[in-house]
Amino acid sequence: MIQELDKIPFFDGLSDVEKSSVKSLLREKAFDKGEVLFAESAPCERVFFVRTGRVKIYRMTSAGREQILEVLGPGDTCACNPGLGVWACTATAEALSPVKVFYLPRDRYVKLVQENNELSHTLNRIFAEKLRCFSSLIEEVSLKDAKRRVIKFLLDMMAEKPSRALNKEVLFISFTQEELAQRVGTARETVARHLHDLKRKGLIDIKPHQISILDKQGLEKLLAG
């Protein structure tokens, strides 16, 4: 269990003794693909830490379309502000694959953070990163042109997780086209059309779970145009 906690940034800074104490508070639960971990507006009873699998956090738009806010992977958490007086889920969490999570009941989570300064500092860093990602998301969906939203998503992903191969920027995309469409607020068919148009223009190349950026400057010009 201690080794498992080492993989969760939320618990960074804790000593092995402190992690042993936390271990006694954690519970484990498994979810099947498509199963809901928590629903928007429902009382928030637990804080989850993803052990394996992927979880999408989303809200429904006024048009009835899913808008993905973030996708959680191993080590990520849905941790909320422990100082809130009334806890209610602001979004829905759904398993994108078979998922295993650790969780803390709400009261245990609040007590743990309040009594440990290291966890408070780590939580602030997590919140700051989430705020940065949400700011980028707001900028994406504010673009009226769906193609520009797709381009910005690709450029942001490249900036976050660059990997060079044969002088190209290679993105290993964990998103399906449907998930990418939900992220940028458009239809899957629209995303597919724009991706293939960018490929036709020689700006990107597409392989299963992988997109190569062949002309970053060309994408940036389209985004700015």
Instruction: Give the tens place of pLDDT for each residue, 17-64.
Output: 888 888 888 999 999 999 999 998 888 888 999 999 999 999 887 777
Beta partners for 45?
none
Q: Which residue has tokens 């295993």?
A: 100
192-219 burial: b if 16+ Cβ within 10 Å, else e: bebbeebeeeebbeeeeeebbbbbeebb
CB of 169 within 8 A of CB of 213? Answer: yes
Give ranges for CATH 2.60.120.10 in the chain.
Answer: 2-141
CATH architecture type of domain 2-141: Sandwich (2.60)
Range 145-224 has CATH code 1.10.10.10: yes
The two beta strands, 92-95 and 36-38, are antiparallel
The 3-state DSSP class for residue 70 equals strand
Q: Which residues are CB-contacts of 110 (< 8 A; sequence separation ≥ 6)? A: 82
Q: Is the pTM of this model over 0.85?
A: no
Give residue 141's pLDDT.
66
The answer to whether 40 touches 92, Cβ cutoff 8 Å, is yes
DSSP H/E element including 171: strand 168-172
Q: Determine contact, residues 118/13, Cβ cutoff 8 Å.
A: yes
Cβ count within 10 A of residue 84: 11
With both helix axes pointing from N to C terminus, report the angle between 146-160 and 188-200 in degrees, rounded to the nearest 10.
Answer: 70
Distance (Å) of CA 67 to CA 140, 179, 186, 187: 12, 9, 9, 11
Q: CB within 8 A of 17, min separation 6: which ones?
A: none
Using CA atoms, how far apart are residues 154 and 137, in angstroms rounded to an integer?
Answer: 12
Q: Could you tell me which residues are beta bridge partners of residue 58? A: 68, 92
Inform me whether the pLDDT recorded for 162 exceeds 70: no
Reported confidence tier of residue 143, pLDDT bands at 50, 70, 90: low
What's the chain's average pLDDT? 84
Give 201's pLDDT tier (boundaries 50, 70, 90): very high
pLDDT tops 50 at residue 165: no
Q: How far apart are CA 198 and CA 166, in angstroms?
A: 20
For CATH 1.10.10.10, list the domain ranges present in the chain: 145-224
**Does residue 176 surpass a pLDDT of 90?**
no
